[in-house]
Structure 1
C-alpha cells in the first residue's frame, strides 16, 4: 500500500518554464537568424538599383555616348551622382539597423551609423525631388509618376526629420517608427523592379499610366510592410 500510494502521488515531471534554458536557446536562435536574414534580405532587395546606379556612374565617368535617355544626366551630373552614392550608403548601412543582436553587441554602432544615415537619407530625398522638378522627363514618365515622386520624396524627408526630432526628445518608439518609414521609402527602387517584372512577363511594355502605378505600388508595398513591422512590436526599443 505504501509503495502504491507513493506512486499515485508522485508528481509528474515539470515542464520547463517560459524563459528557461530551452526558451533562451530559441531566443538566441531567433535573434541570430534575424541578424543574418533580415539585413541579407534588405541588401538583396537593393541589388538591382545598386547595379543600375553603378552602371549609370560608369556611363558618366567613362565617356559613354550621350543619348536621349541619359542626356539629362550629362547636362547636370551632380544630383544623380549624389543620389546614387547616398542611396547606396543608405540602403546598405541601414540594413544593419534591423539586426537587434548586432545592435546589442555594439551599442555605439547604432548611433554612429545614424549620424551617417540621416544626412545620406536627406540627400537621397532632396536629390530625387530636384531631379523630378528640373530634369527633362524621359519617355514613359508622365505627370502622375512625377506627382508620386514628389509625394513620396517629401514623405521621406518628413519621416527622417520627425525621426531625428523624436530621438532628440528621447522618444525611442517614435524614432524607430519614423526611421523605418523613411528607410522603406528610400529602398523602394528594389521593390519597384519586382512590381514591373510580372507586368513585363505577362503584359509587355508599360505606358505612362501603368508605369506610374507600378512604381507607386513599390512605395505602397514597402510602407505597408513598414507599418506591419512597427505595429507588430510596438514596445520594441532601439538603442539610441
Structure 2
C-alpha cells in the first residue's frame, strides 16, 4: 500500500516538474500582456489578438496541474466524485488548449527567424488535432462505460498537452549535441517532444493492460 501511494506521489510530482518550465514561460507571457510590455516582432501577434494565447496558457496550466492528479489510482478511488467532476472540467480545458493551439497555428503570423517552417506548422496541426480527438474519444468512452479505453485516450491527450515540457529537453539536448538548430532540425526536435510523450503513454497503457490481465483482482497504479 505504502509503495503504491509513494509511486502515485512521485508520478504527480514528475508531471508537475515536467510542466514547470512551459508554465513559467506562459506566466511570463501573460505578465507581458497585462503590464503592457514593449511590442516587438516576436510578441506583436499576441498583443494584436490576445484572446487565443490567454485561453491557451490558462487552459494549459489548469489542464496539466489538475490533470496530473487524475492519474493517481488511489487518489481516484478515495475521491471518485472529485475525479468525475474535475474530469468533466478538464475535458473542457483540454479542448480549449488543443483548439486554441490549432487556431494560433493557422492564423497567427509567424515572426521572421522564429524557425520551424512548414514542417513545424504541420506538426502543430497534427498534434493539436490529435489532442482534441483523443479527449473527445476518451470522453465518449467513459459515457459508454469503457473505462480502459477512456483512460487510454485521456493519457494520450494529456501526453500531447504536456509536450511543451519535453520539448524543453529535446531542444536543449539537440543544441548541446549539434549546436543551434536550423529550421528543419528545430521542427524535428519539437516533434520529438510529442513523440516521446506519446511513446511513454503507450508504454504505460500496455503495461497496465498486461498487469491487469496477469492480476485481474488487483488494481494497477
TM-score, normalised via structure 1 length: 0.85
RMSD: 1.4
1:104 and 1:164 mapped to 2: Cα distance?
A: 19
Match of 1:217 in 2: 192
Find out whether 1:203 has 2:191 as its counterpart.
no
Larger-Rg structure:
1
Deviation string, structure 1 residues 126-157 (Cα, Å, up to 9, x no partner): 00000000000132130000000000011111
2:22 to 49, 56, 61: 49
Task: Identify which range, 226-235 or 119-128, moves more after superposition.
Answer: 226-235
Match of 2:119 in 1: 144
Match of 2:80 in 1: 107
Shift of 1:88: 0.2
Match of 1:15 in 2: none
List runs of 5+ in structure 1 lacking aligned partners: 1-27
1:171 to 128, 146, 159: 146
Q: Secondary structure at the match of 1:98?
A: coil
Find out whether 1:30 has 2:3 as its counterpart.
yes
Moved over 3 A (4+): 235-238
Match of 1:91 in 2: 64
1:65 and 1:141 mapped to 2: Cα distance?
A: 25
Match of 1:229 in 2: 204
Deviation string, structure 1 residues 103-145 (Cα, Å, up to 9, x no partner): 1111211101101110000000000000000000132130000
Note if contact 1:34-1:100 (Cα within 8 Å) is conserved in structure 2. no
Shift of 1:207: 1.3
1:50 and 1:121 mapped to 2: Cα distance?
A: 15
1:188 and 1:132 mapped to 2: Cα distance?
A: 16
Match of 2:46 in 1: 73
Task: Identify which range, 216-225 or 96-105, moves more after superposition.
Answer: 96-105
TM-score, normalised via structure 2 length: 0.92
1:197 and 1:168 mapped to 2: Cα distance?
A: 41
2:136 to 154, 161, 183: 161
List runs of 5+ in structure 2 lacking aligned partners: none
Task: Identify which range, 28-37 or 180-189, moves more after superposition.
Answer: 28-37
Match of 1:192 in 2: 167
Q: Secondary structure at the match of 2:70?
A: helix
